[in-house]
Every structure is written in structure tokens, then in C-alpha cells.
Structure 1
Amino acid sequence: MVLRRTLAVMLAAAAAVNASTFDVTFSTAGHNVPSTLYGLMYEDINHSGDGGLYAELIQNRAFQQVTPGTSAALTAWAALGSAKISVVASSSPVSSALPNALSFAVPSGTTSTVGFTNSGYFGIPVTAGWTYTGSFYYRTPTPPSTKVSGSFTADLRSTSGTVFTSSTVPFTTSSTWQQATFTFTASSTQSAVTNLFALSVGGSTVAGLTMEFTLISLFPPTFNGRKNGFRMDLSETLLDMKPAFFRFPGGNNLEGETAADRWAWENTVGDLVDRPGRVGDWGYINTDGLGLYEYLQWIEDMDMQPIMAVYAGYSLNGASVASNDMQTYITEAINQINFVIGDASTNAQAAIRSSMGHPDPFTLNYIEIGNEDFFSPTTYADYRWADLYNALHAEFPQLHYIATSATSGNVPSLSPAPTYWDLHIYSNPNFFINGAYNFDILSRNGLQFFQGEYATTTENSGAALTYPFIDGSIAEAAYMAGFDRNSDIVFAASYAPLLNHVSSTQWTPDLITFSPNTVIRSTSYYVQQLYSLYKGDFYLTSTTNTASSPVQWSVTRDTSAGQYFLKVINTATSANTVVFTLPFTPSHTTGTGTILTAASGTQNTPTNPNAAVPSSFSFTAGKTITYNAPGLSLSVLVVTA
């Protein structure tokens, strides 16, 4: 957060505007705030996994789920020199999961350099000081009678051929698959990302040969130094939010277009050579290099806890699995959970986890049964929920199970009756402003709610948004004050979608937009961040407002730190004043605050990524605090008791 300045300077312009005054008194009574209140919702959409969080730089690295011999099978690949490349169904594949390979044929008599390149996921970053780690499998289906030995050169280069860093990789012809590994370190940073990975060799060495390659991989340094890990800058951007949970793997991308296309956990674990990948639900191939184990390891590294979904028998073609076919998916869900928390000494799925490097169980408290099953509420109510819940609860009674067929707080009837419900809503700013008290009217009857997806997706006029804008983000902040206030029944909330690759977009707006070498934090990102950082552990009851009011507030406390967080949200375009009367006299006469505010319509975009960012200020803290909130603002005032 930047631009520390005094409150008087910051509000000089706003003070000139006639402002309404809101008197707020709060007490020391209230309720605990769940530690899970603010977190992340994830699915692989907008290349947020492959090409995003997953640090792998090579697109189409193993020719998964493509048709050999087609141009589409060569996505991101191109030949160098006189070599001919195509994707073939290997006569002796590297594994049953990866049947395809890149055929590399070099004409007889070739003397010049030949090879092939990959353009990455819409570019490859070259960064000074980064050591890149690469590998590939290769073989010669019909090797010459006399073995040929030589060296490939692996490098990063510009599209014009300027080589930035390289490494030599020895090889020997053989009909069996061999794995080669290499590293190289970049000495300079390139501002452009239109770079290529190349694998080349002197033509005279391989003239007349046809070779096959697959699982051609290149990783930059990863978050926490994990092998097969996550992209650093995106992980650090998310870590800066201090998220409490990570809901995964979807979302629609859990369900598949059909049951056969669903996200199936067992295809995402083990060695990469044994992961077949799948056609994802958002128009591109999922490598499943980010598999169940990698997600869980990263969640642990990020100090989050998982909210893990299991497939519940509904897919995006609108079909539900028949009742008498559910057992396959029940068993799959049980095995998925056992992989996460089972005893590795007695359970086969847990033993796989242990073999991958995590003998102890991961943390797991919440299981979401399906996703958006309000699209097939009858089968969910008739048998899908009950079949899965009864079986999973019998096996894992300590876990909490979340139902997904509600469209509002007026939940449908299911048996057994769920305690936990996931709600989704996408709308315009006015909806979120007027919905600030949606949870206040709900009965306190033991139900717990997860606002698993929400976002302002249009202007009030109905115009679609490419990026979040300040008007919508502040409206979301008003809605989130309701999460604080009702955190006795709202146990978790997450904006969606989370990530968007600027060069491959299926849904807008998104919390974070990125390219191969940049990260753009939206105005909504900063709203989410402020609520999470200043969540507190206890909500204090205060004067209530009305849903139609332009000003909302929330008061929470960090008990161990002795700090109180006064959040003020002004959805009007002009200033308004809030007068807080505290139930104590602050121990420090100067308080600190953070504010996000901007002119109506402001967006953080790739060309103007910092149009609206939070800034810090100080204020006089007493038993009464008068705060003039600028138009379209979220402010957090921190007071020490």
C-alpha cells in the first residue's frame, strides 16, 4: 500500500461537499468471526491453471488429448530449419497415459541446424538471474545400426533468433525412451515476452533420422521452490491477501461436459508421465500437472485450508448420473478424500500421497458435494446428495459437507438436511448495495452459508465489464459488510473468478489479470485484501443502517492485538460523514487507516494497472471519531484500545 498522507490532505476535496452524517455506536457485545471468512475460489478458467498458477512454460508439452496428424495437435510448436514435425500416435508410447509424441524428421544430407520451438502460453518470460529447469523424453523409433551420439542445444530466444540463454544436452540414439534434463540461467531481462523455447541440433549429426519427443518441460523458479510448482508472482499476489481457504478444483471445471470428461482425481496424481490430462470445460486442454497433490501442497505452503469439491454426478451437458450408477462416483469421492487424509500405512490412496512426499495427512475440514446443483435440483434432492452424503459421512464423520443446490438463503429441502450451503450470485452494483442486509433476515437455525462465488459483472445499465471497476468494487464492499455482520452464519466467502490470462479469456471480470510477466490487481482485489487483512476475530454489534443507505460499516476486533477495525463503505459518489462513539478510550491518540477510492468508472487495466490503489493515512483517535468518507470509498480505521 502506498502514498501515506494525512487525513486532512486526503479529504480536502471531499470536505467541500455537503455530506450526510451517520452516527454509529458500538458495544463490546457481538460474536466470533470464523477464521475461514475470506478466501479464494479457483477453477482452471481463463488459463488460470495451465499458463497461469502452474509455472510450466511449455504449452502442449505432451500432446495430450489431441488428434495426431492435425494442425491443432501442433499448437504452440514450429519446426526449425528443414526438419519436419508432426504429432503421431507413437508405436511404443512413453506411457499408456501419453500415447502421442512429436515426430521430428530430418532429411538426408542436411547440414544446417534443425530443431523445433515452442511459444509457451502466449509468451515466455526471460528474467535475469532466473535458473530454468527443463527436461524431455526422446527416442529414435528406428535407430541406425551404429549408434549416433551428439548434443542438443536447449535455449530461450527471441522470435528473430537472438539467444538469451542456453544449455547443451547430450543424447544417444535408442529405440527406448530416455529422459534428458538441463538447466540454464538468464543473464538479462527481456521486456518482451514473445520469446521461444528451442531445442536444436546440428543437421549433419541427425541427417536422415526420425526421432520422437514428448513431455517437453521448462520451469522457471517456483513459489517456495517446489518441483512441478506454482508461479511465484501470482502466488505472492494471492498470499498478500492472506486468504483463509482455497475452494477447488471447481466450479464448472469439476463437472466435465459429460461424466466421462469430469475432473477425476486419480488422473491428476503420480508421475507426470502417468497423467493423461483432459479436455477442460473452458475450451482448452488441462494437463493436470497441477494435480490434487500439488494443490494441497501449495495450499499448505500458503497457510490456507482446502474446501475440496467432489464430483456429484451432474455434468454440463445437463445430464445426471442414474441412481443405480452412482456407486462408481461415491467410491471415487471416498478415495479422493482418503488420498488427502487417509493413513498411509493402511490405505492405498494415502500411500500414493506418501510416495509423492507427504506421509502425514493434509488438513481437510470441508467437502463440497458437487457444484451449482441447482441446475439439476431434482436428481440432487432425489438421490445424488443423499447417496454421497450418507456414504461420505459414514466414512468421514469428522468432515463438514456443503450442499450446492440453493439459489438464495431460502434453501431447498434435502434429506439428510445439510448444515452448510454454497451460494452463488453475479449481478450489478445496485444489487450488492441493496443486498447488504440479505443475511440479516435469515433465521438463526443452525444453517451455515458459504458465499462461494460473487462479483459485479455488469454496470447498472447492463453493460458488460472487462475488468472490475471502482463502482462495482465498492458495492461489493458494502455487501461484504454483511458478511462481517452475519459471520455467525456466514462462515466463508470468495470472489469469482479468481484469475484471467489477458491473452486467453473466457469470463470477465476477474479478480486478477495477468500476462506471462505481469500481474494486475483489480479494484476488487484490493477490497478483498482489505477485508481479509482486517478481518479480526470478533464482530462488535453496532448501530444498524438500512439497505438503501449509501453508507455501510462494520466493526471487528483483533483480540490478541487489542485493535479495533472500523470499516466504512461509501457507495455514493459524494462524501458522507460517519461519527463513531467507542465503548472505550483509545490508548493511542493517533490511529492509522487505509483507503481505496477513485473516480467513478476507474479500472485497473494492463495499460493502467495502478489507477486505483489503497493509500494510508493517520487520524485523531478519541472516544468519538468523526470520519469524512470520500465518495466511492472503502476505508479501514485501526484503533488500539
Structure 2
Amino acid sequence: MPRSRTHTPNGTRTRWRLGLTATALLTATAVVPAPVNAAADDATDYSITVDPKSTGAKIDDTMYGVFFEDINRAADGGLYAELVQNRSFEYSTADNGSYTPLTSWATQGSGTAKVVNDGGRLNERNRNYLRVDLDGTDAGTGVVNSGYNTGIRVEKGKKYDFSVWARTDSADGTPLTVSLASSDGTTLAPSLELTARGDKWAKYTGTLTAVTDSTAGRLAVTAHGSGTARLDMISLFPRDTYKGRPNGLRKDLAEKIAALHPGFLRFPGGCLVNTGSMEGYDEASGWQRKRSYQWKDTIGPVEQRATNANFWGYNQSYGLGYYEYFQFAEDIGAMPLPVVPALVTGCGQNKATDDDALLKRHIQDTLDLIEFANGPVTSEWGKKRAEMGHPRPFHLTHIGVGNEENLPNEFFARFKQFRAAIEAKYPDITVVSNSGPDDSGSTFDTAWKLNREANVDMVDEHYYNSPQWFLQNNDRYDSYDRNGPKVFLGEYASWGNAFKNALAEAAYMTGLERNADVVKLASYAPLLANEDYVQWSPDMIWFNNHASWGSANYEVQKLFMNNVGDRVVPSTATTTPSVTAPISGAVGLSTWATTAAYDDVKVTGEDGTTLLSDDFSGDASKWTHTGGGSWSIQDGQYVQTDVAAENTMVSAGDTSWHDYDLQVKATKKSGKEGFLVAFGVKDTGNYYWWNLGGWNNTQSAVEQAVDGGKSTLISKAGSIETGRTYDIHVKVRGRQVTLYLDGQEWGSFTDDKPAEPFRQVVTRDAKTGDLIVKVVNAQAADARTSIDLGGAKVASKAAVTTLKAAPDAVNSETATPVAPVTSTFDGVADTFTYTFPGNSVTFLRIKSG
């Protein structure tokens, strides 16, 4: 995951080129006859030419997969089916300011119940426990857990497995009453009666059967009698997990993932992999500060697994650990693809660990991981896998080292040591490198240079961009070296879960398939989001404690992933001319988590005419405040003083301005980042800005906002000094922009690529012989299209699957406006006409004749 939701890494633009081979030519379009399948008065004419005699790229079965990271409560409270939150009382204020060891718990009864951490603990990795001092009254003393979201969800007639670890100093034992009730006191299941005996920890289990439905359940555990009882690892699991596995996965979420038929499962992150301390869990002190995700913490009996403060702001139990990830991948027929830390932090931390002993330990941990996955039961770690219930190997073939490191040289020095050790012992394992958090820029370029020079097998790319970027960059991989490292597109998404976002991603996916000889793996990200615990959006699957639903993006991914085909059939289609209208718009000033001062703003036309001049010696009446923050005139400068505010845009001028020079003096006064100077400002969601000292003051970039979604046009590493005044000059000429910092040219770009609305790719399914014509029409007008199959012998009838909706349509718990519709089309011929609806994704499966 990139370091900042708001400052997303994005990329430069390159011109789109259709076709797979050097001989594939762009076809011009003539007006075609009226469509066979529909009348379309508001239609644009296109053509598609298929060349079935040429051979396109082979598409691997693992082409599309899923990326799981524990973000947005994706694991605890999500895919991991445990219904009790903070089951081992390990939440801590040190990890989250709002947490205590009794978060999500309430005490009840006449005795006392408190969390303690002493020598009586369950084990060294499960240090906190609940001490219950009983007073002998009938009411007893205990705790009540409220679960996640609105509470614990139960369904009438279903069974729920309860367990608790307990000990007691009462010679007669301590009776325990386990009950389920709703938040209003309604009984949800008959109570369960257990008795804890002995002053040594032991596990006690039972089953509750729900007598009614509820989404607001509360689990109560009450101890009776006298003396002291100790409780830990209080758990409630639905019996009906995915594949019926104990300690298993929430069924509806796992089924939605399985329905994608993913070719691989990448886990456990993401920023979880390489952020926080690289040290292991300290058995002596039991510290619980944020640690990078380390697989040995997550296997074995759940009560012996370490907990961790999640990078995304909450604690994770590791009940869903490496064994469960491997098992889930196997259950859904996906290739497991774990990612391990390379001792260079990412996600904005940008630190490299120089402890050689620690590096060697992590390398050995990685070798041990491969043995855990693939080793025989006679090996040390293969035996541990077998003891957990899986004597057969998991058939691990790929492993990623590192994630989004923004220090490419430091990362690569360590990566080479990992790769050398892995290749020496396991030469058949593909070791995956990465190219940092951006799809372009100095880090990206340096990382790719190092990867190419070292002949790395595969490079993981990540980027989150606006829909326009995806529509403009379908050709991204056309020019990649066919003999160089292969690409794993491990994280990508446009900014949103509306259908217009999914359309742009679908258009981009046609380019991924066309370049399947270079792009070997691809996964949308992130996978899951609990609607009440969102740190990141967009996400593929949304849920709460009782329901789940696929986003519009999910429906697109599912359509592509279930209709991949085995080989590309080269095809060409009509394209859109380059953009020629000049960049136009007003100018603006802004800050992001920074206070800054601006002075001497001047905008002059190409002919030298002064369009705007403001030295802020008077008031700020020329400026319109459209963002947040607090702006005022101070000592002849325009100053934004709210250090916490993000996007504090003020703008001035005319939206029709074009071909002008913008000059301004800017000074950072305090805060995390630098300052932003905008041009081509149309409104609050459409503009360009030069972001100086962004990404926690690690790089500068020009970003373009289109309908609120940002893309990066050019970026460079660098920071902004506090207290220093910078001279900024932006020169706009037509579609070209040149930027000067303190009189020196900083960079330039030309933004003339069209956001191409019509994209296509054709593949063949080797098993069925079907020709699969995949067309995205990301515009309001229908696309009346002449399709030439190049003499392919085909049946006259095609199976059609269509996704069509309004651009702003969003799937939710209660409505699914974006859903596939199937039909047939009985007009296929060597050359035929089909009208693809506006704002649609259409797959035609055409059988061989």
C-alpha cells in the first residue's frame, strides 16, 4: 500500500499503441452499417479487426489473483471468523490511544474483574489475562464482549463453538456460565455451564446454539463461587466456517474471494510487511510496539501466537496466520505468494537496518518459511506444518522480498543477499523484487535499473491513479523489454468504487492481457474493507458483521478472472486523436499538513500582459477559499496557519486563462510537508498542482486532479527546507508545462494523451476453443462497432455477459446496480456489427464453427 492515501504514487504518460506484434497496425474507421443487435441513434462508430492467424501472448493460469492485507479490519473482525474482539486482553494504550486491555469488554457482577500482567500468565506471548476475584454471591462476576461493528452476529439454528483458558484456586472448582444475549437483553442462545478446575491453565469448550437472529449479540462469561479465577483467550467461533475448518474463515467473505477463481494469493501485505521494528517478539519484556509482520509469530496453537500493533492503527491477533493463509490458497486453488521484509522500511518510514546479524536472521527465517511450506515432515519446519494438520507440502513457488521501499539502493543491496541465499538452497523458487511505491519517478527508475542489471526474475509494481490515468495508459507495458524481468502488478486501483472507476480499470486490464508475456501476475488492491473500520478506500469487497457485497470493481475483476483465456489473439481497434486544446484554468495556492506563507504572485500572458498581480500588501479579496485551513494576511504575506489541515486550496483568476506564466514566492513555516502551487484550476476537483515536499517531505511531483482523482505526471526525490523562501515559476504553453525552481528548470511534461474510452482485447480459451472478445466502452455514447474476425471459423451464436450501469453507480449492502447480465447474440459472422452500450464492459464468447 502506498504511504499516503491522499498523495498517491502515480505515473507519467506514454502514447497508447494497439496490437501485440510489430506488424499489428492501427485501423482507421469508416462509417459502418446500422447495428444488428440494437438501434443506436446516439452512437459512435468503431471497428475491431482480429487476426486469428497471428500468435499473441500466452496467458498463464496465474495471471489474475488477489492481494490480502490486514487493513480495514480485513482479518480480525473480517475474514478471520472469530467473533470476540480482544479475546486475550492484549489491547494497549501504547498501541492505540483509545485502547485499554478491556476494550470491547465490560465487567459485571459484585466481585472484581481486572486485567493483570504477571507471572501467572498463560504463556510468554500471551501475557495479559483477566483476574476475577469472587465474593461468593449468586450473581457472580465476569465480563461481556461486544464483538465488532454493532455486536456479535448469530443466526437462528446455527452452532457457535466457545472456548476459554482458565485456572482457579478454588478447591471445589469455579462454575462458569456462558451466555449470549442481544444488546437489549434478549436471550440469543441457551446458556452453557462449565466448571474450571485446578490452578493450572486448561482449555474449556462448549457449544451455543442460536435460537434467534441478531447482529447485536453480546457474549458474557460469568464466574461463580468464591476465590480467584483467571481467564484468557475467550473465543466464540461460528461452526459454519469456510470449508468447515476450526479456527477458520468467515464463509461469505471466503466464498466471494473463491468465486473470483484467483490464480494466486499475495499476503500478508502491504505495509504490514516492512513497517515497524524488524526485531522479533521479545519473550522477556513482551513489548508490543509495531513490528513488521514476521511469519514465525503467526503459527502454532493460537494461544501461543504473538499479537501485534497493526500498522493501520489497530491490534491484530495473528489467529489468521501463515498456516491459514497457505491453507486458504490451497482451498481456492490459488498459488501462495508470501512477502517477507527486506529490512528496509516502507510506507513513509524510509529507514534501512544495518544490523548484519538481524539481516542474517531474517534471511534464515525466509529459508525456514520455504521449508515450512514445502519441506518434508522429517525437516524441522515441515514437521511443524504436519503437526498443525497438513503433512503434504503447500507447493510454494514464488516469494516476494520487500514492499514499496523508497530507498532503492539500500533495498536492493539486501534483496541480493536474500535472493542468493534462496537460490542456493531452493533454486526453483522465483524471488520477486519490487520497484518502490510509484509507477514512475526517480525511485522507480533506479529500482528498475538495478533489477534489470541483476537479471531479477520478477518485479512488483504498485500504483493507485485516477480513472483518467488508466484510460490514458493502456499502452504502459507495450514498450517493456520482452527479455527483461517480468512484471507482477501487485497493487493497482483507480480512486473509487463507482462504476466509472471499474470501467477505467477494465479498459486497463485489456492492456495487461495484451502484454501477458510481460505482465505475468496482477491483483487489484486492497481486497477487503469493514465499513465501520476504514483506513483505506477503494476496496474490492465490503462488509459489516452480517453482510458482504462486491463493489463494481469486484464485478469487473470477477468477469475478467473467470474469462481469461489461454492466449491473446492479436486485434486492433479505432483510437482517439491526441488532445490539442491548451491547458486552461485559474491559479491556486495550497498546503498539506503544513503552514506556509506566499508572496508576490504574478500571472502574465504569453504576450507579457499582466493577468494577476498580488503582493498581499492589502487584503486577499482576489482569492477564493475552496479548501480547508485558515488563511490570513500577515506581514505582507498570505499565510495558511493550520498545520493539520489538508488541501487548503485558495484560487484566483479566470478558468479560461491559457498560455501563461505563474510566478510566486513560497516559504514553508512548519509541518510535515512543503507547499503546493496550482495551475489549470477549473474547480475543486479538476486542476494541476506542483506538490513540493510531498509524501512526508520526501519528493516533489506535479499531480493532476480529474473529478477529484489524482495522477502524477512527473516526480523527483527531494525535500523542502523550513524557513527558506523559494522562487517558483510555472510556464504553461499549449499542452506543455515547464517548471522552474529558484531559476533552474526542475522538469517539464506534455499532457496530450486522450483518455481513450474504447478498449478491446481478444483471447482464446484452449479448453473450449471459444474466442473471447472483450470490449470496454467507457463513455455515454453507444459504440456501434464493425467486427472483422479475420476469417476465423465461428458459430453464429455468442454467449454475452454485460456489465452496464450509470458511471456513478456504487454497489452497497442493499443495492447492486452493477451486476452481470447474460444473454445471447445470434448474429456472429466473419464480419458483423455489434453495438456496445455506453458505460459498459461486454464479453462475447464465440464458439468455433
Instruction: Determine whether 1:198 maps to 2:220.
Output: yes
Which one is further off, 593-602 or 208-217? 208-217
- Give the SS at the match of 1:430: helix
Match of 1:460 in 2: none
Instruction: Determine whether 1:97 maps to 2:125.
Output: yes
Unaligned runs of 5+ in 1: 1-7, 458-464
Match of 2:551 in 1: 522
User: Following TM superposition, by how much is the alpha carbon of 1:587 offset from its aligned partner in structure 2, in angstroms?
Assistant: 5.2
- For 2:331, give the aligned amino acid: D
Choose the corresponding residue for 1:377, options 404, 408, 417: 408
User: Following TM superposition, by how much is the alpha carbon of 1:18 offset from its aligned partner in structure 2, in angstroms?
Assistant: 3.0
Distance 2:125 2:277 in 1: 20
Flag the structure with larger Rg: 2
CA displacement 1:608-628 (0-9 Å, x = unmatched): 431221111211222223221
Contact 1:169 1:181 in 2 (8 A): no
Choose the corresponding residue for 1:392, options 419, 422, 445: 422
Match of 1:554 in 2: 761
Contact 1:154 1:200 in 2 (8 A): yes
Match of 1:110 in 2: 137
- For 1:256, give the aligned amino acid: T
- Give the SS at the match of 1:364: coil
- For 1:270, give the aligned amino acid: G
- Give the SS at the match of 1:567: strand
Unaligned runs of 5+ in 2: 1-33, 280-290, 576-752
Which one is further off, 261-270 or 166-175? 166-175
Instruction: Determine whether 1:303 maps to 2:357.
Output: no
Instruction: Determine whether 1:293 maps to 2:323.
Output: yes
User: Following TM superposition, by how much is the alpha carbon of 1:350 offset from its aligned partner in structure 2, in angstroms?
Assistant: 1.4
Distance 1:10 1:227 in 2: 55
Contact 1:55 1:219 in 2 (8 A): yes
Distance 2:501 2:819 in 1: 15
Structure 1 residues 76-95: aligned runs within 5 Å? 76-95=104-123
- For 1:59, give the aligned amino acid: Q
Instruction: Determine whether 1:470 maps to 2:502.
Output: no
Distance 1:353 1:45 in 2: 27
Choose the corresponding residue for 1:248, options 267, 278, 281: 267
Contact 1:167 1:182 in 2 (8 A): no
Distance 1:583 1:574 in 2: 27
- For 2:821, give the aligned amino acid: S
- Give the SS at the match of 1:58: coil
- Give the SS at the match of 1:19: strand
CA displacement 1:362-404 (0-9 Å, x = unmatched): 111111111112x1212023x2111111111111110111111
User: Following TM superposition, by how much is the alpha carbon of 1:229 offset from its aligned partner in structure 2, in angstroms?
Assistant: 0.8
User: Following TM superposition, by how much is the alpha carbon of 1:290 offset from its aligned partner in structure 2, in angstroms?
Assistant: 0.8
Contact 1:89 1:99 in 2 (8 A): yes
User: Following TM superposition, by how much is the alpha carbon of 1:187 offset from its aligned partner in structure 2, in angstroms?
Assistant: 3.3
Choose the corresponding residue for 2:844, options 609, 627, 637: 637
User: Following TM superposition, by how much is the alpha carbon of 1:23 offset from its aligned partner in structure 2, in angstroms?
Assistant: 3.3
- Give the SS at the match of 2:371: helix
User: Following TM superposition, by how much is the alpha carbon of 1:545 offset from its aligned partner in structure 2, in angstroms?
Assistant: 5.0
Contact 1:371 1:404 in 2 (8 A): yes
CA displacement 1:138-180 (0-9 Å, x = unmatched): 112xx24x42453x23232101111111342321443211211
- Give the SS at the match of 2:353: coil
Contact 1:521 1:609 in 2 (8 A): no
Contact 1:125 1:516 in 2 (8 A): yes
CA displacement 1:455-514 (0-9 Å, x = unmatched): 011xxxxxxx4xx01111100001000011000111010001110001111001101110
Match of 1:424 in 2: 462
Contact 1:153 1:166 in 2 (8 A): no
Instruction: Determine whether 1:542 maps to 2:749.
Output: no
User: Following TM superposition, by how much is the alpha carbon of 1:517 offset from its aligned partner in structure 2, in angstroms?
Assistant: 1.0
User: Following TM superposition, by how much is the alpha carbon of 1:189 offset from its aligned partner in structure 2, in angstroms?
Assistant: 2.5
Instruction: Determine whether 1:499 maps to 2:544.
Output: no
CA displacement 1:96-125 (0-9 Å, x = unmatched): 11111012233x352335432111122211
- Give the SS at the match of 2:179: strand
Contact 1:64 1:278 in 2 (8 A): no
Contact 2:798 2:844 in 1 (8 A): yes
User: Following TM superposition, by how much is the alpha carbon of 1:550 offset from its aligned partner in structure 2, in angstroms?
Assistant: 1.6
- Give the SS at the match of 1:589: strand
- For 2:798, give the aligned amino acid: G
With over 3 angstroms needed to count, the CA separation of the structure-2 counterparts of 1:149 and 1:86, relative to structure 1, is closer
With over 3 angstroms needed to count, the CA separation of the structure-2 counterparts of 1:395 and 1:147, relative to structure 1, is same
Match of 2:182 in 1: 158
Distance 1:200 1:319 in 2: 48
Aligned residue pairs total 609
With over 3 angstroms needed to count, the CA separation of the structure-2 counterparts of 1:180 and 1:209, relative to structure 1, is same
The TM-score normalised by the length of structure 2 is 0.69
Contact 1:380 1:405 in 2 (8 A): no
- Give the SS at the match of 2:569: strand
Distance 1:71 1:512 in 2: 27
Distance 2:458 2:488 in 1: 7
Q: Compare the two structures and name the one with the higher helix fraction.
A: 1
- Give the SS at the match of 1:385: helix
Contact 1:93 1:101 in 2 (8 A): yes
Distance 1:430 1:436 in 2: 11
Instruction: Determine whether 1:437 maps to 2:475.
Output: yes
- Give the SS at the match of 2:44: coil
Choose the corresponding residue for 1:353, options 371, 385, 392: 385
CA displacement 1:524-578 (0-9 Å, x = unmatched): 0011001101101111011255473321111111111111111000111211122
CA displacement 1:246-269 (0-9 Å, x = unmatched): 001111011232213111111111
Match of 1:218 in 2: 236
Distance 1:87 1:67 in 2: 13
| Aligned-CA RMSD value | 2.3
With over 3 angstroms needed to count, the CA separation of the structure-2 counterparts of 1:453 and 1:228, relative to structure 1, is same
Quote the sequence identity (%).
Answer: 32
With over 3 angstroms needed to count, the CA separation of the structure-2 counterparts of 1:613 and 1:257, relative to structure 1, is same
Q: Compare the two structures and name the one with the higher strand fraction.
A: 2
Contact 2:101 2:115 in 1 (8 A): yes
Instruction: Determine whether 1:612 maps to 2:818.
Output: yes
Choose the corresponding residue for 1:51, options 56, 74, 77: 77
Match of 1:489 in 2: 518
Choose the corresponding residue for 1:413, options 440, 443, 450: 450
- For 1:423, give the aligned amino acid: E
- For 1:82, give the aligned amino acid: S
Distance 1:447 1:109 in 2: 71
User: Following TM superposition, by how much is the alpha carbon of 1:46 offset from its aligned partner in structure 2, in angstroms?
Assistant: 0.5
With over 3 angstroms needed to count, the CA separation of the structure-2 counterparts of 1:194 and 1:65, relative to structure 1, is closer
- For 2:399, give the aligned amino acid: I
With over 3 angstroms needed to count, the CA separation of the structure-2 counterparts of 1:83 and 1:577, relative to structure 1, is farther
Distance 1:167 1:11 in 2: 62
CA displacement 1:31-51 (0-9 Å, x = unmatched): 311111111011100010111
With over 3 angstroms needed to count, the CA separation of the structure-2 counterparts of 1:55 and 1:172, relative to structure 1, is closer
- Give the SS at the match of 1:199: strand
CA displacement 1:221-266 (0-9 Å, x = unmatched): 2100111111100011111111110001111011232213111111
Match of 1:622 in 2: 829
- For 1:331, give the aligned amino acid: Q
Distance 1:581 1:625 in 2: 7
Contact 2:37 2:825 in 1 (8 A): no
The structure, 1 or 2, with the larger RCO (C-alpha pairs under 8 Å, 6+ apart) is: 1
- Give the SS at the match of 1:224: helix
Instruction: Determine whether 1:27 maps to 2:59.
Output: no
Match of 1:37 in 2: 63
Distance 1:82 1:51 in 2: 31
Choose the corresponding residue for 1:324, options 325, 346, 356: 356
User: Following TM superposition, by how much is the alpha carbon of 1:313 offset from its aligned partner in structure 2, in angstroms?
Assistant: 0.6
- Give the SS at the match of 1:531: helix
With over 3 angstroms needed to count, the CA separation of the structure-2 counterparts of 1:437 and 1:600, relative to structure 1, is same
Distance 1:573 1:443 in 2: 36
